[in-house]
A and B are shown apart, each in its own frame.
Chain A
């Protein structure tokens, strides 16, 4: 079975902090994605990567950056966390997306 592992299930950070969300997949997938999920807004694509060191902006990249130094790992970075970034963050990989269980981030 494909496994997509997100490092934290719950995270609480303060406004202005730099936040790292880590995602690791074990199926050698080329494509990896970061989404955020908010009530009433659904899943929105933040960034995606189709190869190591490659990254593409999704629909809502502002306030975020990503890193893909190794094929299996795709990190989402909040350079300076803000309260409007409080959300559920979902990482996915593959063509038929395999999702992690999400990181619920609260920014206070």
Chain B
């Protein structure tokens, strides 16, 4: 089983602050996804990164895939209360249609007004 370590596990910040969440593994993944989950709902996909070194931006969120495709980061600029939620990274491994996704344990972010 491939393992993904997410840090920090909990993060409580004030509105307007910046933050970074990390996702690390000793394994190489073919791609990595970030999800956000709100209470009572299933996770929702934010982004997929595929190429080593890739950077993707989604408004105030910046996602980076490590050069070796073993780690990733999510940076939020000027966080807002609406960003509150559980952020999950998931690494994809296995080929063709027979693939699996391994999830990190998540980072619970609270943005206080």
Task: Give complex CA distance A98, B33 in Å.
Answer: 12
Q: Once the chains bind, are B42 and A4 in contact (CB under 8 Å)?
A: yes
Which of A42, A48, A98, A102 has a CB less than 8 Å from the CB of B100? A48
Q: Flag the segment in A13-21, A50-58, A66-74, A76-84 that touches B.
A: A50-58
Interface set of B (CB-CB < 8 Å, partner A): 1, 33, 35, 40-45, 48, 88, 90, 97-106
Contacting residues of chain A (1-50) with chain B, CB-CB under 8 angstroms: 4, 30-31, 33, 35, 40-45, 48, 50
Please tell me if the beta carbons of B104 and A42 are within 8 angstroms of each other in the complex: yes
Q: Does A105 contact B (CB under 8 A)?
A: no
Evaluate contact between B101 and A50: CB separation under 8 angstroms: no
Task: Indicate if the CB atoms of B40 and A101 lie closer than 8 Å.
Answer: yes
When the two chains form their complex, are residues A42 and B105 in contact, meaning their CB atoms are under 8 A apart? yes
Cα separation A1 to B27 with both chains bound (whole Å): 33
B40 CB to nearest A CB, Å: 7
Number of chain A residues whose Cβ lies closer than 8 Å to a Cβ of chain B: 26
Query: Is B105 within 8 A of A40, CB to CB?
Result: yes
Q: How far is the CA of A6 from the CA of B6 in the complex (A)?
A: 28
B45 & A43 in contact (Cβ 8 Å cutoff)? no
B41, B48, B97, B101: which contacts A101 (Cβ < 8 A)? Answer: B41
Closest chain B residue to A42, Cβ basis? B105
A67–chain B nearest beta-carbon distance, Å: 19
Contact at B33–A56, with CB atoms within 8 Å? no
Given A96-B48, A100-B42, the answer on whether A31 and B97 have CB atoms closer than 8 Å is yes
Which A residues touch B88, using CB under 8 A?
A: 42-43
Q: Point out the residues of chain B lying under 8 angstroms from A99, CB to CB.
A: 42-44
CB A100 to nearest CB in B, in angstroms, measures: 5
* Cross-chain contact B97 with A50 (CB below 8 angstroms): yes
A59 to B3, CA, bound (A): 11
A97 / chain B contacts, CB cutoff of 8 Å: 33, 35, 43, 45, 90, 101
